């Protein structure tokens, strides 16, 4: 609890005194994993987008399903360097616009900061007591890697019972790591103390394409068309000789303001040819605007105004004749403090086109600086590059024409550059921990992001859905969580009345998931059909979360009881046969280890299945553990097919251990925590230089590593520093 503002530390105060609240500057966060999973076919969410929906659903799965973008990149303007980049709420009708600080504050869908919005300060000292300091760090007690407690399943209620007769199950708070099945480590070092993501600029993610190349934004100029016969004079900014700098500024402000009724009047030249240049310059530079010539008392003007209607501007007619065989532009998207789909929504909004004209291989962290490739269907590169003028802390570049669009999952992973600040620990211990990460890897757990951030874990809902207990699933989604006053009201109404109409009237408009469900119940739909009013991707997220919970529990028990070497009956996947994630999708066939082939494989080849109807289980004790765990949850391991296709999961395989590649680290010194210690792609394009850090009292480590898709950087950092990354554990450390 923040002693200054009386808010929980995991949800930092967002009022005007934020800059002076030293406690909220050291807010807890979940460090991220790479955002690569296709939301429609895969089950993971990437890096730090943890529970931005009212029900704790991961952001990208939510946003892909009629969710409201959590914030918008703002127009360019001069600002304090610690202001967040582009964190204006998408719902502009709400009264309180907020700007986030790089020290931890950020706006979410419902006005609540998610648990991952601040740094994870940790100290691994098994003899130290948990304490809270005011110098922007917290000391965290080391977690016991030998804990064996696993979460006990809820008692299953009958799907035939009336909802009014079902008791509300009470939850004490978000899951701990142990309750999510996360208990083991690969190495035996003691860890060290550091602050992760004290600023979002301390977390940089670059996509790795299918050729193994790390994607960087390096060039923000348009590509040269083969049929481009413009002279050097024509290649200057269109209209720069006929439109004044003052009028250009007014046009940029018009586009940035998003005021559809505003106009800009540009003095019309007397010469018709010059007026044509003005019209053309505005059209090319600002495709979302239209122009017309008007006459007023004080003379003739060319008036610029927003295009009417929601359709695109017919941008196909300016497509280069020499590129007719290429229907797409492939470009690098750079963004800061912005979810991938929110960024694409902003691009579509400013270009006045539909979002489905853009394609990408995977989503990236929100609270980070990220670079990834995107394709756009017949949107001219020059139009794309106009976004660089109107969107803040945002970049588009490295454009080229291609024949095919990107598809979800077409990537090899992500490269991370992570700044660990305020490092405290013996230098030998720090070095050992980092070397162990490279040599021994980390357990490939599904991170805490997968299970949401509220007191009702997403896998509990998934278990109810797989059990066909529709009434319980409804109650779990709508039950009180006591985590935010704006949601407590309608959740309490539901708990007390079970009246969908009364609850719907009390539900805020930004809780779209709950409103869709309640609307179905209000229309007298059975619970099963009412649940289908929730987007398919979100419902899949729930059941995939249950798969993740089972997998985490099984891998912990496998490592604890059978050791860290392959054993007879294990399943192995040759290195070329599967990636590190093993998510839903086309699955290669695993090999069962026997006495004859046991020596041919190592632990890096061993996989465990995510429960489903089209996978095989290990031919040893692990299969019995799966059967017992599912049986305790009311499920039959041999009967995983369902009449409802969405809940009939085929299953998949996931490697036990991940070994990062391209691992390197440097030690830095600094005094001011706002001092940048690494450069982003946009910094390099602008030729920004790092300040000298040869002197200073505070130590930092800049860690770089590449991870395959569907793995969690959070779990890699957990292995290095020995820290419980759960929201409940971090919040408890702040109660005074």
Catalytic (active-site) positions? 365
Host H or E run for residue 206: strand 203-208
Residues contacting residue 699 through CB under 8 Å, at least 6 positions apart: 422, 423, 424, 667, 668, 669
H/E run at residue 686: none
Handedness of CA 367, 371, 372, 373 (dihedral sign): positive
508 with 490: CB under 8 angstroms? yes
Instruction: Select from 736, 118, 708, 139 the least CA-distant residue to 453.
Output: 118
Helices 427-440 + 713-721 axis angle, to 10: 140
User: Which of 717, 108, 100 is closest to 416 using CA atoms?
Assistant: 717
Task: Tell me the residue ranges of DSSP E strands in 545-611.
Answer: 571-572, 591-592, 606-610
118, 175, 331, 645 from 446: Cα distances, Å: 20, 13, 31, 24
52 touches 70 (CB < 8 A): yes
Extract the tokens encoding 474. 């409804």
In 3D, which of 457, 459, 711, 466 has the Cα closest to residue 583?
711
- Element (DSSP H or E) covering residue 590: none
Question: Per residue in 87-97, is it b (16+ CB within 10 Å) or e — as a string?
Answer: bbbbbeeeeee
* Strand 138-139 with 606-610, pairing: unpaired
Q: How far apart are CA 86 and CA 72, in angstroms?
A: 5
Residues 6+ apart with CB under 8 A from 322: 225, 226, 227
DSSP string, 79-107: --TTB-SS-B-S-TTSS-----BTTS---
Q: Are 34 and 713 in contact (CB under 8 A)?
A: yes
Instruction: Render the burial of 318-356: b for 16+ CB within 10 Å, e for the rest.
Output: ebbeebeebbbbbbbbbbbbbbbbbbbbbbbebbbbeee
Q: Residue 84 is encoded by which pair of tokens?
A: 């967040």
Q: Phi/psi at 390 (nearest 5 deg)?
A: -115, -15
Greatest alpha-carbon span in the chain: 95
Q: What are the C-alpha distances in Å from 617 to residues 265, 408, 443, 573, 589?
A: 70, 28, 19, 13, 12
Contact (Cβ atoms closer than 8 angstroms) between residue 191 and residue 721: yes
């Amino acid at each position: 609890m923040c002693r200054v503002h009386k808010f929980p530390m995991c949800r930092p105060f967002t009022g005007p005194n934020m800059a002076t609240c030293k406690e909220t500057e050291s807010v807890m966060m979940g460090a991220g994993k790479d955002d690569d999973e296709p939301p429609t076919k895969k089950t993971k969410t990437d890096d730090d987008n943890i529970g931005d929906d009212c029900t704790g659903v991961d952001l990208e799965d939510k946003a892909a399903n009629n969710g409201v973008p959590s914030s918008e990149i703002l127009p360019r303007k001069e600002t304090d360097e610690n202001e967040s980049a582009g964190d204006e709420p998408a719902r502009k009708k709400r009264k309180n616009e907020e700007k986030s600080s790089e020290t931890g504050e950020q706006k979410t869908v419902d006005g609540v900061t998610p648990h991952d919005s601040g740094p994870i300060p940790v100290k691994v000292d098994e003899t130290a007591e948990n304490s809270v300091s005011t110098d922007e760090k917290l000391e965290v007690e080391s977690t016991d890697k030998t804990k064996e407690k696993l979460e006990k399943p809820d008692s299953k209620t009958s799907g035939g019972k009336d909802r009014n007769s079902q008791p509300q199950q009470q939850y004490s708070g978000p899951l701990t790591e142990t309750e999510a099945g996360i208990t083991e480590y690969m190495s035996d070092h003691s860890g060290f103390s550091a602050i992760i993501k004290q600023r979002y600029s301390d977390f940089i993610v670059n996509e790795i394409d299918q050729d193994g190349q790390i994607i960087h934004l390096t060039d923000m100029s348009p590509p040269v068309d083969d049929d481009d016969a413009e002279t050097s004079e024509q290649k200057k900014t269109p209209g720069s000789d006929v439109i004044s700098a003052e009028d250009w500024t007014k046009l940029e402000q018009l586009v940035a303001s998003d005021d559809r009724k505003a106009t800009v009047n540009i003095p019309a030249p007397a010469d018709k040819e010059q007026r044509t240049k003005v019209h053309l310059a505005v059209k090319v530079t600002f495709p979302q605007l239209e122009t017309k010539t008007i006459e007023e008392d004080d003379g003739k003007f060319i008036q610029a105004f927003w295009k009417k209607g929601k359709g695109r501007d017919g941008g196909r007619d300016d497509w280069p004749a020499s590129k007719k065989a290429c229907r797409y532009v492939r470009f690098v998207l750079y963004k800061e403090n912005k979810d991938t789909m929110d960024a694409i929504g902003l691009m579509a909004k400013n270009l006045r086109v539909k979002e489905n004209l853009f394609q990408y291989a995977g989503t990236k962290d929100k609270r980070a600086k990220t670079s990834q490739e995107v394709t756009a269907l017949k949107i001219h590169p020059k139009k794309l590059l106009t976004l660089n003028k109107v969107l803040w802390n945002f970049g588009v570049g490295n454009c080229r024409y291609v024949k095919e669009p990107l598809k979800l999952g077409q990537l090899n992973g992500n490269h991370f550059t992570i700044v660990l600040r305020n490092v405290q620990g013996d230098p030998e211990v720090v070095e050992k921990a980092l070397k162990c990460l490279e040599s021994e890897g980390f357990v490939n757990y599904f991170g805490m992001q997968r299970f949401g951030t509220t007191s009702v874990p997403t896998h509990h809902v998934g278990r109810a859905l797989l059990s066909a207990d529709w009434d319980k699933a409804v109650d779990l989604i709508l039950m009180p969580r006591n985590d935010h006053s704006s949601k407590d009201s309608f959740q309490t109404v539901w708990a007390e009345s079970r009246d969908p109409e009364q609850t719907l009237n009390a539900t805020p408009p930004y809780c779209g998931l709950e409103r869709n469900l309640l609307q179905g119940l209000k229309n007298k739909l059975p619970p099963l059909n009412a649940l289908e009013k929730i987007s398919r991707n979100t419902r899949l997220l729930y059941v995939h979360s249950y798969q993740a919970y089972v997998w985490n529990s099984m891998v912990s028990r496998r490592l604890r009881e059978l050791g860290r070497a392959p054993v007879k009956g294990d399943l192995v996947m040759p290195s070329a046969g599967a990636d590190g994630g093993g998510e839903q999708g086309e699955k290669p066939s695993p090999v069962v280890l026997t006495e004859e082939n046991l020596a041919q494989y190592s632990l890096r080849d061993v996989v465990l299945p995510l429960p489903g109807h089209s996978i095989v289980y290990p031919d040893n004790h692990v299969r019995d553990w799966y059967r017992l765990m599912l049986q305790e949850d009311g499920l039959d391991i041999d009967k995983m097919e369902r009449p409802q296709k969405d809940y009939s999961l085929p299953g998949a395989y996931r490697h036990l251990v991940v070994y990062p590649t391209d691992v390197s680290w440097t030690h830095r010194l600094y005094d001011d925590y706002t001092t940048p210690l690494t450069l982003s792609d946009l910094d390099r394009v602008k030729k920004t230089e790092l300040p000298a850090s040869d002197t200073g009292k505070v130590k930092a480590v800049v860690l770089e590593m590449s991870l395959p898709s569907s793995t969690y950087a959070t779990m890699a950092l957990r292995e290095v520093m020995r820290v419980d990354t759960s929201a409940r554990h971090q919040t408890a450390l702040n109660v005074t």
